Structure 1
Amino acid sequence: MTRNDALNLKPQMISAHKNTHCCISREFSAAAANNANKIAVVHASGRALLSPQLRSRTSITEDAAPALVRQLLYDGDHSFTYSHLISAVGSLTSQLLSTPRLPCDYNKPSRRIFGLYMPPSAEYIVSVLSVLRCGEAFLPLDPSWPKQRLLSVISSANVDLIIASRTPFGFESDSNWLPEACGGRVLWFSMEERKNGGIDWDWACKCESVKERPCWCYLMYTSGSTGKPKGVCGTEQGLLNRFLWMQELYPLFGDEVLLFKTGISFVDHLQEFLSAILTGCTLVIPPFNHLKRNVFSLVDFLQAYFVNRLTAVPSLMRAILPSLQGRDDEQLPRSLDLLVLSGEVLPLSLWDKLSKMLPRTAILNLYGSTEVSGDCTYFDCKRLPLILAADRLTTVPIGMPIFNCDVVLIGGDDVSNEGEIYVAGVCNSSGYYSDSMVTPLDTVRLSQDSVCCSSVNGHKSQYYFRTGDFAKQLRSGDLVFLGRKDRTIKLNGQRIALEEIEDTVRGHSEVIDAAVIFHKVQGELMLLVAFIILREGIPKEIFGATIKSWMADKLPLAMIPGHIVVTESFPVSSSGKINYELLADSVFLAKHVEDGLGDVGSSNLLQLVKTAFRDVLSVEEISDDDDFFTMGGNSIAAAHLSNNIGVDMRLIYCFPSPSMLCTALLERKESLNINVSRDAKSKMNLEGGKPSFFHVHSDTPATVNFDEQRRLLRTLSGRSEDNAIISKRLKLDSNINVAGDSSPANGYPWNSVAIYASCSFSRCNKVVYEGGSVVKDIYQATCSVMVPKSRNVPMQESWKVYMGLCVDASPIIVHKGQDIYLFIGSHSHKFMCVNARSGSVQWEIKLEGRVECSAAILSDFTQVVVGCYRGKIYFLDFLNGNICWTFQTSGEVKSQPVIDSQRQLIWCGSYDHNLYALDYKNHCCVYQLPCGGSIYGSPAIDEMNNILYVASTSGQMTAISIAVLQISRFIV
C-alpha cells in the first residue's frame, strides 16, 4: 500500500484488527528489532535554531538514519537509537519487577501504580514502556504542576514507586523533595546510565498465555466536577486501537520525523510519542522550558528537523500565527505533511488561515476526551469545502468515529439532529480511580429507539459513556460540536471543572463561599473570574493581595482565575442554588478602570491614584494607606502603574501607598509643570525651514490645579490639550549653541550643561526624551553643544569600571532628574548600570550570553532593553536590573532594539534572519518578519511616513510600512 493510497482510504474500508497486534510492548519490540541502529529519539539542544552559518551538524552513518534524518543532529543534541531504548527498557523492567510491593491493602487493586515524574524525554518514554512490559500501570506526574497538587495526586493514587530524573532534560526543576515527601519510594533513572546495557531480543509477549488481561494500564488525572482531580483508568486496548486506526488511515513508513512537545498531563502526549516509537520513526523532543519561554520557536524546530507530523491544540496554532504570517513561502515548514488538531474547538477562521499558509499540509480535526483514550471521532479538513457548500458553519466539524468506536446522539424532543454525545467501544476507559477505588464511568445501556442520530449504521446495544458534550449531525453524517451544559470548560486544551477551583478556594481559612465563572473575550479567548464571600472582619484589600499566590501552590496555572471579585452575596435561583448566569452578567457591571483615566474625574487626585492602584492589582477596593507591594505588587506591576499614571517608577518604591504617592505628586513641582520654552540663544520656528531648537525645564508652580492632575495622568498617551506634535528624538546640529559657555565648571564636567528633563543619549548622538516633549513644529528639533575650534579642551579620566571581558557595544546614557546613568554590557555576559558621575555600579546582572549590542530604554524610562549572544532580548527594571520579561529568538542578538512608543513596540533584529516586533506592555511578539539574512544594524523608523527600514547581511534592504500592523514590505 502506497502513502497516497493510504490517505485516500475511507472509513468503511477499514476492518477491525485481530490478535496480530496484542499489546504495545510487542509493537515496540518489533519496531526496535527492525531498526536497531536507527536514531529513535533526539534531545534537541536548541542550537539548531541558530542561523545556517553557525550550524554544525554531527555526522551520522548511513545506517543510523534515513535520508531525511542523516543531517538531523546539531552540536549539543543527544540522540538515542532503538538499541539504546530497548536496552534501557529491559534494564528498568528488571529493576521494577524486583521492587518489593507495599504492604497489602484490601481495598487496593492487585496492580501496582508507578508515578513518572519527568518532562517529555527519552527517560519518560522508556519508563512508560517498562511499566507496560511489567504489566503494571503508570501515572504521569507533570513537573510543572504545583507541589501540593502533585502530593494530592500521589496520595489519591496510592503510588507504589516514583520514577524520576535528577537532571531532567529541558526542564529546570528540583526533584530532591520527592524522597522525603513520598517516604523514600523514588527510583532515580537516567538514560546515560542505562542505554548501553544488554539487549534481550528474545523477549516473548505473554498476552496469549494470560487468560485475563489487565483492565487498565495508566492513570491520567483531570479536573473533576466533584471538586477534586479524578484519575481516569485508561486501557492498553484503547491506546492500541487509536494507534492502529491512525496507522491504517494516515500511515507512517519509518522515514518520517515527529515532534514530542505536549506536556505529560495531557492524554494527547501518549499518541504523540507512541506513533513514532512503534513505527520506527525518529522522534525529536525540544527542551520543554525553551518552548514554554518562546512559543514561536516551535516553527523553527519544525523547519530545522524536517518534522513531518505535528499534534497541537488550536490555541497553540493561533499563538504562533504571527511567526507563520511573517515568513515567505520557502521559509514555512514545507516538510509538514499532517497537522493534527485536538483538545479544543477549531474555529473556521483559524482553519482558513492555516490552510492558506500551509497548502501542502493535510489538517485533521479530532474530538475526544481522556475517558475515550484521547480521540473517538475525526474529520479530514480536505472535505470541508464540500460541506461548507451545503451548510453554514463557524467551527470545523468533529466528523465521524474512528474504527471500533460507536458514537450516537441522544437528544430532546425539539431538534431531531442534535443531542448529547454518547460513546461506546474499545476506546472507553475502565473508570475513575481515587483513594484506591475504581468507580465506573457514567454509562447507560441504550436501545435503538433512544438514539436520535447514530454515526454508524445499526449501532449495537451496549453501554455508552455519557460525555456531557453536545453536537448536531450534518447532512453528510459528520458531527459538529455545540458545547456543554455543565460547568466544565476547555482552556488551552486543558479540561477544567469550575467546581474544582471553587472547592479549592473554599479551603482557604478566610473564605465562606466561592463561585467561579468564565466569559469570552473578543469572541474566542476565555477569562476565569472568581467571586468570593469572606468571613466577617477580613479586610478584602489584604485578602485580594494574597489569594492568587495561595492558589498558585494548589492549582495549575491554567486554573487560577485572572480576576478576583470580593462580594457580600451571590444571586440565587428559586431553588436556592447559585445563579451563575446572573453572576456572569454582573461581571460586565463590575467597576473597571477605563484607558482614559482622566475621564474618571478631575476633582480628586487621590481617587485617581487609587483607581490606578486597583486596576493594576486587580482588586476591588484599596484604602488610602495600603502598601502597593504588600498588596501583591512587584516590579512589573510597578512598571504598569507608573505607565498608567505617567510618573517615575522610583516614586512608587519611595511612596508605595496612594496617600503618600498623591502627596509626593502634589509636592513634586517638576512633575506637574514641565513646559517647553525658547532658549535665550535660539528661536521657535513654526513655519518650517530649518529645524528649530527647544529646551525643556521646570517652572515652579505657585498652586496646583486639577487640570494639571488630569494632564499628569494623560502624559503617557502622547496627547496634550492643544494636540501639539510630540517630538521624541533629537539629533545634533553643529550650528546651534545650547547654553552659551559649555566648559566644565570648576573642572568638573557634570556641572556644565544642566539637563532638567529625563532623557537618554545613545549611538549616533540620538536623544530620546521621557514621554516626548511638546513642539509645534513638524520637523525634528535638533540641539548641540558648540566647542570653539581655537580652544584647547583638556581631557581627564574621571573613573574606571572593569567589565571583565571585551566591550563591543556602545553605552547608552540616561539623565533622570539630577542623576546620570550609563548602561553597558560586555563579552563577560555582564550588563550593568553605572552612575556616570561617580563611576559606582548601581546594579549588575549576568545574562545568558555575551552582550554585543547597545541597549535601549522604554519611553517611560522604566525598563532597559538589551539583547545577548544566546538569542534573548531582556527587559530589565531600570531601578534594580531585575528581569521583567525575556523573549527568546533563535540566533544571536547584535542589533540595538528600537523603541516604537506610538505602537508600544520594540523592534529588534536577530542573527536568525528575523525582525521581531515585541509588545512591551502585553509581553508578547506581535510580528516576526524574515529578512533574508542576519541583522546586525538597528532598524530605523521614519515616524512621519510610518516606514521602518532594516538591512541584513544578505545585502537586502527592507522597507516596512507600519502605519497599521497589517504589515507590508518593499525589498531593495
Structure 2
Amino acid sequence: MEVRGLHELVHDASLRYGSSLAVMFYSSTGASSSLTYEELISSANRLTTLLRENVVLSEHTIGLYCQSDMNLPVWILGILQLPAAYVPLNPDSPPLLTLRIMERCDLTFCVIQSDLFQRFQSDFSHHLSIALCATWSVQRLILVRIKKESSSLQSNSEALQTTKSAETDQGTTLQPDMSLTQKGHQRELLAYVLHTSGTTGNPKIVKVPHKCIVPNILHLRSLFQMAKDDVVFLASPLTFDPSVVEIFLALSSGACLLIVPSTMKKTPNRLAQVLFTHYKTTVLQATPTLLRRFGRNILREKVLCADSSLRVLALGGEVCPSPSLLRNWRQEGNKTQIYNLYGTTEVSCWACYHRIPDSLLCTADRTHTSVPLGEPLLDTAVEVRDENGCRVTEGEGQVFIGGVDRVCLLDDELIITPGTMRSTGDWVKIKDSQMHYLGRRDRLIKRHGQRVNLDTVQQLVENLPMVESCVVGLHESRRLVAFVVPLSGHPSSSEDNRTVSSSAYMHGSKDFIYSNKAIVREVLQSLSKLLASHSIPDTILLVPFLPLTSHGKVDIGKLMKMYERHRDVPVNPSDWKDMDTVKEKLQTLWKEALGLSEDVEITADTQFLLSGGDSLQAVRLYEDISNATGMTSTGLLEAILEGCFTDVLHHVTKVMCSLEQDAVVPPPAKRKHEGTVVPLKRQAINPASTMAKKRTPGSAVPSEKRILETVVVRRAGQIMEIMGCSQSISDMVEPKVIREETLTSHSDLHFHPGQVVRDQEVQQMGASVDSQALDLRVLWSSDTGRCVDASAVLLVECEKHLTSGQTRVTAFIGSHSHRLQALHLTSGEIKWERILGDRLESSATVTKCGTLVVVGCYDKQVYFLHVDSGKTWWTFETGDAVKSSPAVDPETGLVMLGSHDGHIYALEPQVKQCAWKHHCGGGAVFSSPCIHSSLRHLYTATLGGKLLCLSPGSGALLWTHSSGSPFFSSPSCSASCVSIGSVNGNIYGFSHAGEMLWQFFTNGPVFSSPSTFAFSQRVVCGSHDGCVYCLSCTDGALLWRFATTGKVFSSPFVFDGSPWGFKTLVAFSSTDGAVWVLDGENGTLKASLSLPGELFSSPVVWGHTLVVGCRNDYVYAIELTKRRESPRGSMVG
C-alpha cells in the first residue's frame, strides 16, 4: 500500500474535525491565539499558491528560518504541499553553522519569519547574495533567493565543509545534490532535511522521505490512542526530528497542538502552569533533561500528580531515567502512561518503544536499574551485532536500525538500498530478550562535562585553509593536542619555518614550534567559529610531517613523546623573577590563549573574561603558565578568572620568587612529633558580664525576649532584625557565652583531615566525636537546573501573638541557571521561582522593610523583587556583572553592593534611585560590603587588592589599605577590628581607624569570609589549604584549627549550640562536598555529612535546619539533631 505524505494525514483529519482547534499559541505576554483545522488548511493552501507563483518548480528543498509561532504548522504544510521538503534553520544557531547547512542542502530559496529578516541579513549578507522575492504580510513571511558569494566561498569553504568531496578544485562550486534531483516521484517523497548535532560523530545531512517518517506517526498514534480531545505540546525545536512526531501526531488525529515561545520553556514554573493548569496537556514527548527542569516538586504536584491531565509521557533522545527516579517523580495515584522511546536522526525519528509497566512504577523494587529500549516500531528493523558483525541475541553489541522503507538519505548518497541497516554507535546489552543501553564505543570522550568526538575535531582542523594534515589526540586523558602540518605556500608560512631538520623534529625543536604563531593563532580563531569551547584543542603543535608506523598509520605515540619533550622544557626560576620578563611572557601566553594578534595591547587592567575568554580558556592559560614556569599555585586560576592582568602578573612573580628561594634555602626539617599537644590555657568569662555587653555589628541575635516581627539570616552569621513582635529566640542561631582560649602556636604545621589543632594538640576526626555528638540528615532538596554557588538568605516572619502565632521561614537562593527560588524552609516547596537575565552568584538579602528581596546578577542588574510573589519592583543597572552580595544599612535602609565595574553603590529601593556610588580605585568588587552600624562605617574590598572604609550615608572615603593581592573574601566586623582574608594566604585584622593590628598566614589562598563570635573577641575563617582557623580578634593568635578533607571556600556560620548541649557551634562546607559542624569552643568535630557535589555555597542555619547550595544543581535543607544512646551506650542516629 502506498504511504501517504505527512500533509495528506492532516488533510484527512481536517475533513473530520474542520471546526475543532488545531493550533493554540500562548505568547510571553499571556495572550493566546488559535487556528481551527479549516483555518489551518486554508492558510496553508494560500501559502502553497504563493510559493508556486514565486519559486522555480525544480526546487525541492526550501529553507524555513523561524521561531516558535502560531503559524508554524501553516508554514510547514505550505511547503510540503508544493511539494517540497522543508529545511529548518535555527536563528539562534551560530551563523557559520547555519551557513554550512544551507550550502550542503544546496538551498536556493528560503522563507523567513518577517520579524527575523533583519537578523538574517545581518548574519549572512557577508557570505550570501540575498535577493528579496516576495513579502507576505498575512503569512508574516518573506521569501528570498540566496546565492553564495564567490569571494566568501573562496576564503571560508574549507572551514565550513566537513567533507571535500562536494567541492571542485577551485572550491567555488558545490556539486548538485543528486539525491534531490533524480526522478520526480522520488523528489516528492522527501518531507524534511535535518542535520545531526555532530556531538557523537561528523555532522550529517539527513534527508527524510515521507515513507520513512509516516509509519512512526501511524504507530505512535495507535499506541497513544490519540483522539480529538488530546492536547499535544510542541516541546522540541524544528531542528530536532521529534518535533515532526509532535506536530503530526496531533494534527493527524484531530487533536490540538500547543505552541509556546522558546523562552517560556526556560521557566519551568510558568511552563507547568501553562501546560497543565491552563491547557490541560494530555500528551508530552520530551527529553529527560527537559522533564528534570521542572524539579521534583512541580513534577509531583503538577505534571505527574494524582489528577494530572497528562495521559501519555514519552521520554526519548537521552537515556531513560531509572524506574526508581520515575517513581519519585510521580505522586501516588498518578495514571500517566510512561514510554521510553529510542531512535536516531539517521533513521528518523523513533525506532523502538517500551511502555513502562504501572506495576514497576508503583513498587519499591529497586532491582530494575534501567529501562529497556523495547520493541521495534512499525516497518522498523532493529539488530544487535558484535564487533565482528555477527548478530547477537544475548550479551553486548552495537545497535543497527533500518527497514525496507525506514531509511533516510545521508549527505551525498544518491540511492537508497531497501533494507539498509544503519550503525548507531550505541552499544547495548541483551538480557532476557530486552535491550539495555550501555553507551558508545568510538573516539568519543567526555571533556569538561561535554562530549567530544576526536575525529570530528580532527576533520575540521584538516579542512582549514592553512592546514595540510592533522592528528588530534588526548594526552594523559586530559590535554587535547592537535598536531598540525601547515600548508606549504600559505601566507602565514615561510620557507624557513618549513625547512626543519629531522634532528630538530625528533627533539621537538622549540624554534619550529614557536616560529609560526600566526598559523597557530589563525587555527584557533577559525576553530572558535566552528566548535564549542570544550572541543577546541588546548595545544596546537606545528610539525613538519606526521611520522608513520610500519603499517603506514600515523604514529601517535611518537607525536605524544614530542609533545612531552616540548612541555617539559626545564624551567629556571631566575628567568621569571624579573617583572619585565614575566610581563612579556605572560602577555604572549595571554594572547595565545585568546587567539589574539601580537599587536593587541594587554594593559594592566585587562581582564581575561572581558577580553573574550571563557572558563575553559582560563583553564588552558592556567596550564600554559604552570607548564612554562614549572609552578603549581592554587590561586592562579582564581586570579585569571576574577582578576586583571596585573593580578596575574603579581601572582606569578611572587610564586616564582618563592620557588627561587626554595631552590637556595633547604626546607625546614619536619617536626618529629608533628601534631603532639600541650593542653590549652582557658580564661573563664563571667556570663553575667558578657550578657551585659553591647552587641557588636554582625553578631547573632541575643537570647532574651524582645520585640520581633521579622529576622533576616544571611551567610557568616549575619542577622538583621526588622520591626517588632514579642518573641523568645534563645534557641535560634545566636552564639551564646563561650570561653576565651589563648595559646601560642605556629601556622606552618601539617595536618590531616579531621585533625583539630590547639596549641600542640591534635585530635583525629572520629576520636573527637563525644557522647554529645550530633547527626546531620537531609530533609529535602530542590533542583535549580545548574550549579548553586550562592548562599541562601532566610526571611523569618513571626506572628504578633506568641500564643497563637507561627513562625514562617522562607529561603531565597540563586543559581547559575539564572533561577532565583523562594523555598519554604520546612517543606522545601517552591513558593515562587524567577528566571533572571543571567547567572546568579550573588547571595540575596532582604530590605529593611522586609518586603523586597535583593540580588545581583551577571547581566549587570540588581533586582528588587517582592518577597511574597517574586514580581519585579525595580531593577538597577551597573556597569558590569554583579557578584557581590548586597548589605542593608539598618539605620537608613540603603542597600549597598559592589559591581565588577569597580564601583560600590548605595541604592534606595523605596524611591527607586541610586543615593551614591563610589569608585574603589581599581579592580572589580567581588566581595560583599559590611556595615558597622554604631560607628557608621562601611567596609568593602576589591580584586585590585584594596580594602576601603566609607561613610555609608554619603560614600565619602574615610581610609583605605592597599595590598598586592586580590580580596575575594568579604570583610567582617567585631568590636575591636575588621577582619578579611586574602588570596595571598593571609587573614588580616585592622582597627576601625585603618591600622593593621595583625595578620595570620595560612597555607593557601583565602576566599572564605570571616565570621565573628557574638560576645567573645574571636573570628573563624576557612582557607584553600583545607583548614578552618579560629583566631583572636585582638592579636590574631591561633585558638584552634580544624583540617577538612577539601578546600574551604565557604564562610563559617557561628550559632548557638545550647539546644544540643553546647555553648557555640560552627557550620561550614568544604569544596569536596562535605558539610561540617564543630564545637566553637575547641574546634572538635560534632557532625559531618557528604553531599554529591562540590560546595562553594556557605551554609545558613535557623533553628535545627541548615541550608546550603551544591554544584550538583541542588539546594539542600539539612537537619541537625542530637544523637541518642543505644541501650549499650553506643551512639545511634
Classify the TM-score, shorter chain.
Answer: 0.5 to 0.7
Residue matched to 1:504: 460
- After superposition, what is the alpha-carbon deviation per residue over 1:195-248, rounded to whole angstroms, capped at 9, x for unaligned? 9xxxxxxxxxxxxxx987834232112256999643212111222110000011
**Mapped partners of 2:475, 2:350: distance in 1:** 27
| Map 1:622-771 → 2, pairs under 5 A | 629=607, 633=611, 652-653=643-644, 655=646, 657-659=648-650, 662=653, 689-690=690-691, 763-764=847-848
1:152 Cα shift?
A: 1.9
Alpha-carbon shift at residue 398 of structure 1 (Å):
0.9
Give the match for residue 303 of structure 1: 276
Once the 2 structures are TM-superposed, how far is the Cα of residue 30 of structure 1 from its aligned partner? 3.0
1:365 counterpart (309, 323, 340): 340
Query: SS of the counterpart of 1:26?
Result: helix
- Secondary structure of the 2:81 match is helix
1:424 equivalent in alignment to 2:379? no
- Displacement after TM superposition at 1:33 (Å): 4.0
Per-residue deviation, 1:661: 7.7
More displaced, 275-284 or 235-244? 275-284
What does 1:58-69 align with in structure 2 at a 5 Å threshold?
none
Contact 2:67 / 2:113 at 8 angstroms: preserved in 1? no
CA contact (8 A) 2:315 2:338 kept: yes
Which residue number in structure 1 is paired with residue 983 of structure 2? none
Larger mean CA deviation between 582-591 and 330-339 belongs to 582-591
Amino acid at match of 2:39: H
Q: 1:115 aligns to what SS in structure 2? A: strand
Greater shift after overlay, 221-230 or 360-369? 221-230
**1:116 maps to 2:274:** no
**1:223–1:496 CA contact under 8 A, matched in 2:** no
Q: What CA distance in whole angstroms lies between the structure 1 residues aligned with 2:587 and 2:430? A: 51
Contact 2:13 2:252 in 1 (8 A): yes
Query: In structure 2, which of residues 226, 231, 250 is the aligned counterpart of residue 252 of structure 1?
Result: 226
Counterpart AA for 1:378: Y
Please give the per-residue CA displacement for 1:724-783, whole angstroms capped at 9, x wherever unaligned.
Answer: xxx999xxxxxxxxxxxxxxxxxxxxxxxxxxxxx99985599xxxxxxxxxxxxxxxxx
Long gaps (5+) in structure 2: 142-183, 487-511, 623-632, 658-682, 699-745, 751-756, 763-790, 794-842, 851-875, 879-888, 926-937, 945-966, 969-1008, 1012-1021, 1023-1047, 1052-1068, 1073-1097, 1121-1133
| Cα 1:616–1:655 shift into 2, 3 Å | closer
Three-state SS of the structure 2 residue aligned to 1:167 is: helix
The equivalences for 1:218-617 within 5 A come to 218-222=192-196, 229-291=203-265, 294=267, 298-304=271-277, 305-318=279-292, 320=293, 323-325=295-297, 329=301, 334-348=308-322, 351-352=325-326, 356=330, 359-382=334-357, 385=360, 394-411=369-386, 412=388, 417=394, 418-425=396-403, 428-434=406-412, 438-440=413-415, 462-475=419-432, 477-487=433-443, 498-508=454-464, 529=480, 531=482, 533=484, 536-538=512-514, 550-555=526-531, 557=532, 561=535, 564-566=538-540, 575=551, 577=553
Output one character per residue of 1:616-675: Cα deviation in whole Å (capped at 9) or x when no partner: 99969999x977647975598699999956999999347265248857999xxxxxxxxx
| Matched-pair contact (CA < 8 Å) for 2:213–2:348 | yes
CA distance in 2, matches of 1:421, 1:966: 40
Q: Which residue of the partner structure matches residue 812 of structure 1?
A: 895
Partner SS for 1:116:
strand
Aligned to 2:8: 26
Contact 1:617–1:631 (8 Å) recurs in 2:
no
3-state SS of 1:655 partner: helix
Distance in 2 of aligned mates of 1:424 and 1:252: 26
The C-alpha deviation readout for 1:246-290, integer Å capped at 9, x for no partner, is: 011112212222221322222112112221222222222222244
Counterpart selection for 1:214 from 185, 188, 199: 188
Q: Is the Cα–Cα contact under 8 Å of residues 303 and 332 in structure 1 kept in the other structure?
A: no
Q: Distance in 1 between matches of 2:323 and 2:584?
A: 41
The 5 A counterparts of 1:46-65 are: 46-47=28-29
Q: Is the 8 A contact 2:339 2:354 kept in 1?
A: yes
TM-aligned CA distance change 1:478 to 1:427, over 3 Å:
farther
Structure richer in strand, relative to its length: 2
Q: Of 813, 821, 838, which aligns to 2:904?
A: 821
In structure 1, what is the Cα distance between the partners aligned to 2:123 and 2:351?
A: 39
Report the Cα distance in structure 2 between the residues aligned to 1:265 and 1:859, rounded to whole angstroms: 48
1:854-889: CA deviations, max 9, x gaps? xx9999889xxxxxxxxxxxxxxx99xxxxxxxxxx
Which structure 1 residue ranges, 5 or more long, are not aligned? 1-17, 48-74, 103-109, 196-209, 446-461, 522-526, 593-599, 667-683, 697-706, 712-718, 730-758, 767-800, 844-855, 863-877, 880-897, 906-918, 923-939, 951-959
- 273-282 vs 340-349, which deviates more? 340-349
Letter in 1 for 2:105: A
Alpha-carbon separation, structure 1, partners of 2:586 and 2:352: 49
Structure 1 vs Structure 2: percent identity of aligned residues? 19
Question: Contact conserved, 1:257 with 1:284, CA < 8 A, in 2?
Answer: yes
Partner of 2:917 in structure 1? Answer: 835
State the Cα distance separating 1:391 from its structure 2 match: 12
Q: Is the 8 A contact 2:639 2:648 kept in 1?
A: no
Q: Distance in 2 between matches of 1:78 and 1:143?
A: 23
Q: Provide the secondary structure at the position in 2 that maps to 1:423.
A: strand
1:617, 1:632 within 8 Å by CA — same for their partners in 2?
Answer: no
Cα distance between partner residues in 2 of 1:239 and 1:163:
23
Q: Which residue of structure 1 aligns with residue 799 of structure 2?
A: none
Offset at residue 379 of structure 1 (A) = 1.3
Equivalent residue, structure 2, for 1:184: 130
Is 2:108 the counterpart of 1:132? no
CA RMSD across the alignment: 6.9
For 1:946 and 1:519, the matched residues in 2 are separated by 49
Report the secondary structure of 1:409's partner residue: strand
3-state SS of paired residue (2:190): coil
Matched residues in 2 for 1:235 and 1:343: separation? 21
Q: Normalising by structure 2, what TM-score?
A: 0.47
Report the alpha carbon displacement of residue 91 of structure 1 after superposing the two structures with TM.
1.4
Question: Deviation string for 1:347-406 (max 9, x for gaps)?
Answer: 537754665468533221112112222111111122894999999775422111012222
Deviation at residue 424 of structure 1 after TM alignment:
3.4
Distance 1:391 1:639 in 2: 43
Pairs aligned (count): 677
Whether the aligned pair in 2 keeps the contact of 1:469 and 1:482 (CA below 8 Å) is yes
1:802/1:337 Cα in 2 relative to 1: closer, same or farther (>3 Å)? closer
Give the Å deviation of 1:29: 1.9
Paired letter, 1:480: H
Q: Evaluate the alpha carbon distance shift between residue 94 and residue 303 of structure 1 in structure 2; reply closer, same or farther with a 3 A threshold.
A: same
Contact 1:165–1:188 (Cα < 8 Å) also in 2: no
Separation in structure 2 between the aligned mates of residue 277 and residue 260 of structure 1, nearest angstrom: 12
CA contact 1:241–1:426 (8 Å) conserved in 2: no
- Residue 610 of structure 1: CA displacement? 13
What is the aligned counterpart of 1:40 among 22, 25, 34?
22
Rounded to whole Å, the distance in 2 between the matches of 1:129 and 1:433 is 25
The separation in 2 between residues aligned to 1:376 and 1:501, in whole angstroms, is 29
Contact 2:447 2:534 in 1 (8 A): no
Contact 2:472 2:481 in 1 (8 A): yes
CA distance, structure 1, for counterparts of residue 904 and residue 535 of structure 2: 40
Amino acid at match of 2:421: Y
Report the secondary structure of 1:553's partner residue.
helix
**Conservation of the 8 A alpha-carbon contact between 1:28 and 1:277:** yes
Instruction: Determine the C-alpha separation between the residues in 2 that align with 1:466 and 1:802.
Output: 53
Contact 1:516 1:528 in 2 (8 A): no
For residues 187 and 720 of structure 1, the distance between their equivalents in structure 2, rounded to whole angstroms, comes to 82
